[in-house]
Structure 1
Amino acid sequence: MTWSTALAPLRNRSFAWYFASRFVNTLGSMMASIALAFAVLDITDSPVALGQVLAARTIPMIALLLYGGVIADRLPRTLVLQVSNIGSAVSQGAIAALVLSGHAEIWMLVVLSVVQGAVSGVSFPAMASVLPQLVPREQLQPANALVSLTRNGMMVLGPTAGALLVVTVGSGWALAVDAATWLVSALLLLPVRVPPKEAAGEPADTIRELREGWTFFWATPWLWRVVVGFGGLNLIHAGAWFTLGPAIADDTIGRQGWGFVLSAEAAGLLITTVVLLRVRLERPLLLGMLGMALMAPPMLLLGVSPHLVGLVVAAFVAGVGTEVFGMGWNLAMQENIDDSMLSRAYSYDALGSFVALPVGQLTFGPLAAAFGFEEVLVVAAVVYVVICALVLCSRSVRTLPRVPVAGPEVSPASP
């Protein structure tokens, strides 16, 4: 692909506005993730409490994912995103106000995180499936890459900026910025236009639509096998990296150091995204699952030798692998699943992938307290690699090719 082809989606007015919305929103979210973690640790100094707050957001999100898939296949996806952005702005603004005023308590953060999780659960399938409505099929890879470029670029700056705010003026300001970006993001979606939904041949029936989604999901081997594997991978990632990571950093490399580590991971994501703007990704799931296995080394280092330089390098490499999977997975979904089923397929994907997140968030703190941080992280890294290998035992995962598209700029898919 040429650079002209890579940037072609930005010449589409609706995609350009959507791209701007994601840019603004992602900047705030990247700062907020690290700010919330250290806001909780400032209140309790307990990784168990941090796991509880994270799980409070995750559980309702998971519970509403399937309903969100039905809503996104039934209503305009941009409308779903706008309403959810406003809900997120209100709940995040309340958390920021509590932290800034010094009145925040864990139970308050838990309640507001439940609200945020519910909103995210309804909106996630719409956000994941809207791109095929904004660009032609031959522009799906560059469109996904541009969205990833925004997300990954902000992931480089966001954690470091968020950590800087935490150590200078406190966690509340980063949370307040995130609340404002949700509102701006909703406004930027106003000019986005998507094709109208075709009139349904029969009255809306949520149970029937959920059943149709499940039938499709189970009948697609590569889809459900990757999703089942990611249930285990996300359990480990949420518990080992995002729950134990900040706690270990507090006692070793420091809060600013943890921001550098997360930014290094994002730099790996970002550089890979730039490469994927030009290079067509073949065998998307084979390369993607091999890439995911690269997340194991930084978890191992976190437990065995939590030194800043080693963690930064390992996190960068893990970011490269994670972005290869992210691109491969979106292309596999968007090229092989009809638009009328896409949101529900993404909702079952998210449900299966995320259902174990709260388990990891709630259990890794107690496990580390009982058996030791190093022991838990070493086992987690080994199991992570084993899960990736098991998923790749499926021939449907290893051999899934790209869908060929017409045009001189795109190479044909592998046989």
Structure 2
Amino acid sequence: MPRSRHLYRSLAPLRHRDYRLFFLSYLISMLGDGVWLVALPWVAMETGGGSSELAMVVGAEAVGLISCVLVGGALADRYPRRRVIGWSFAASFAVLGLLAVVHLVGDLAVWQLVGAAFVLGASAAISGPASDAFTPDLVPEENLHSANALESTVRALAVRMVGPALGGVLVAVLDSLSIIVINAVSFGLAALCVALIRPGAGAGVVSGEGEQEAGTVSYRQALRYLFGKRWLWVLIVWSGVVLLLQSGPRQVLLPFLISGRLGGDARDYGLFVAVTGVAAVAASLVLGARKPPRDYARRMLLAWTAGAASLALIVFVPSFWLLLPLAVVYGFFSTVGNVYWSTLVQTVPSAVRGRVISVDWLGSLALVPLSAVIAGVGSGRTFTVTVFVLGGTLPVLMTLAALRWVDLKALRPPGEGVEPAGEPVAEERAPQPVS
């Protein structure tokens, strides 16, 4: 039965006990993030803060993320990833619990919320690369593609849809103390799930011994490995530049485009975001049900390009309703590219995987605020058209260059027994430590 076979492939990673626990912790933490995203402004306002104080809180979390992400990659390679993830969740649980106690016994000050936001950002920067690097340790390589599709589905549902909706309900019926406690409990439950994972008992392609060996590889050697693989650093640069071109226009200019030129309002912008979320969920479900194609890397670039190209058309549509098909295209193909990339970067050797992923994270985290600043310096129809057209067309040219410069045919989908660079596995190991 084709339908049952597709469902079996989608859910195959959940056959493994340790991955089920990890997936449950991921689901709980993502729901908590979605709730906190909506609840944070009201928590800040209840402390007497305004827009400037909220900006300080959000900025503190961003500083925590950016400043600690490379540290997170190093920790993910030097220590057992289960422990790194569990302790980072525990740190978030502790800081939110402390915040709740302060709120209970007295007035919560904005500076305390700023400090907690920094710790939450730092914890996310440490747990994020470790979580991405941990997935291949828990599932066989042939299930890695489906595992990333499952996690992408959860991320789209929890952070874009269910979590924010739940956060809105909680804000309406509960006070800020209760919301802080609920978010703390979510981190505590996530940490408990990770703690129940049996170290060294996973079904992944990397044994527990690989993490001990990883501690002997220096950051310099990890970077040497990264820049020695042209496909790896070229695609990291490609994705970073695309984020620089697109994230600012989407987050800063699109709301003004909808409200000004198309006569929409906040509900219309929310509908646009929701449609991209639904398309992302659909893309993740489709990918999880299908076997990875042999031309894995080429399809990833083409999917990213299709999603990017849709942004070039946004500034030319005459009505809001014609914007929604472009939202579907963007949400679907961007998610396809992201799932492919997450899977591909996880196939690098375990000894350097955490640091490679953290470099990729740093590019994303650092360039998104810069993109917002660039989008905010100009105004007017000509500036908006120029920014969106460049954001949609330059990735197409970059893809053509990458297809010619990088031997993508040598890259195979996970599960075929060939390392991403197309060389024997023994030659793909990280550099040996210098004596």
Q: TM-score normalized by structure 1?
A: 0.79
The one-character-per-residue Cα deviations of 1:53-103 (angstroms, maximum 9, x if unpaired) are 544323332232222112111211111111111222344567789999996
1:134 Cα offset (Å): 0.5
Task: Please give the alpha-carbon distance, in whole angstroms, between the structure 2 residues aligned to 1:31 and 1:199.
Answer: 34
Please say if residues 77 and 211 of structure 2, whose CA atoms lie closer than 8 Å, have aligned partners that are also in contact: no
SS in 2 for 1:212: helix
1:391 paired residue number: 398
- 1:327 aligns with one of 339, 360, 365: 339
1:265 Cα offset (Å): 1.5
Instruction: Tell me if 1:80 matches 2:84.
Output: yes
Give the total of aligned pairs: 396
1:20 Cα offset (Å): 1.0
Task: Please give the alpha-carbon distance, in whole angstroms, between the structure 2 residues aligned to 1:268 and 1:246.
Answer: 20
Please say if residues 70 and 359 of structure 2, whose CA atoms lie closer than 8 Å, have aligned partners that are also in contact: yes
1:128 Cα offset (Å): 0.8
Task: Please give the alpha-carbon distance, in whole angstroms, between the structure 2 residues aligned to 1:170 and 1:378.
Answer: 43
1:372 paired residue number: 379
1:391 Cα offset (Å): 3.4
Task: Decide whether aligned partners of structure 1 residues 339 and 364 sit closer, same or farther in structure 2, where only a CA change above 3 A counts.
Answer: same
Q: What aligned pairs does 1:33-52 form with structure 2 within 5 A after superposition?
A: 33-36=37-40, 44-45=50-51
Write the letter of the residue equivalent to 2:387.
Answer: A
Q: What aligned pairs does 1:238-317 form with structure 2 within 5 A after superposition?
A: 238-243=247-252, 253-282=264-293, 283-293=295-305, 294-295=307-308, 297=310, 301=314, 309-317=321-329
Q: 61-70 vs 71-80, which deviates more?
A: 61-70
SS in 2 for 1:197: helix
Q: What aligned pairs does 1:184-203 form with structure 2 within 5 A after superposition?
A: 184-195=189-200, 196-198=208-210
- 2:412 aligns with one of 394, 397, 402: 402
1:345 Cα offset (Å): 1.3
Task: Please give the alpha-carbon distance, in whole angstroms, between the structure 1 residues aligned to 2:134 and 2:154.
Answer: 16
Task: Decide whether aligned partners of structure 1 residues 29 and 199 sit closer, same or farther in structure 2, where only a CA change above 3 A counts.
Answer: closer
SS in 1 for 2:360: helix
Percent identity, aligned pairs only, is 26
- 2:67 aligns with one of 63, 66, 69: 63
Q: Runs of 5+ in structure 2 lacking a partner?
A: 201-207, 423-435
1:156 paired residue number: 161
1:343 paired residue number: 354
Task: Please give the alpha-carbon distance, in whole angstroms, between the structure 2 residues aligned to 1:255 and 1:167.
Answer: 19
Please say if residues 310 and 329 of structure 2, whose CA atoms lie closer than 8 Å, have aligned partners that are also in contact: no
Please say if residues 72 and 130 of structure 2, whose CA atoms lie closer than 8 Å, have aligned partners that are also in contact: yes
1:18 Cα offset (Å): 0.9
Task: Decide whether aligned partners of structure 1 residues 199 and 382 sit closer, same or farther in structure 2, where only a CA change above 3 A counts.
Answer: closer
Task: Please give the alpha-carbon distance, in whole angstroms, between the structure 2 residues aligned to 1:109 and 1:300.
Answer: 41
Q: TM-score normalized by structure 2?
A: 0.76
Task: Please give the alpha-carbon distance, in whole angstroms, between the structure 1 residues aligned to 2:278 and 2:129.
Answer: 26
1:406 Cα offset (Å): 5.9
Task: Please give the alpha-carbon distance, in whole angstroms, between the structure 2 residues aligned to 1:299 and 1:57.
Answer: 31
Q: 133-142 vs 146-155, which deviates more?
A: 146-155
Task: Please give the alpha-carbon distance, in whole angstroms, between the structure 2 residues aligned to 1:324 and 1:142.
Answer: 12
Aligned residues: CA RMSD: 3.9
Q: Runs of 5+ in structure 1 lacking a partner?
A: 408-412
- 1:212 aligns with one of 192, 197, 221: 221
Write the letter of the residue equivalent to 2:234.
Answer: R
Task: Please give the alpha-carbon distance, in whole angstroms, between the structure 2 residues aligned to 1:356 and 1:214.
Answer: 20
Task: Please give the alpha-carbon distance, in whole angstroms, between the structure 1 residues aligned to 2:390 and 2:114.
Answer: 30
Task: Please give the alpha-carbon distance, in whole angstroms, between the structure 2 residues aligned to 1:325 and 1:213.
Answer: 25
Task: Please give the alpha-carbon distance, in whole angstroms, between the structure 1 residues aligned to 2:90 and 2:12.
Answer: 30
Task: Please give the alpha-carbon distance, in whole angstroms, between the structure 2 residues aligned to 1:290 and 1:264.
Answer: 21
Q: 85-94 vs 149-158, which deviates more?
A: 85-94
Please say if residues 160 and 260 of structure 1, whose CA atoms lie closer than 8 Å, have aligned partners that are also in contact: no
Instruction: Tell me if 1:116 matches 2:120.
Output: yes
Instruction: Tell me if 1:234 matches 2:243.
Output: yes
1:174 Cα offset (Å): 5.8
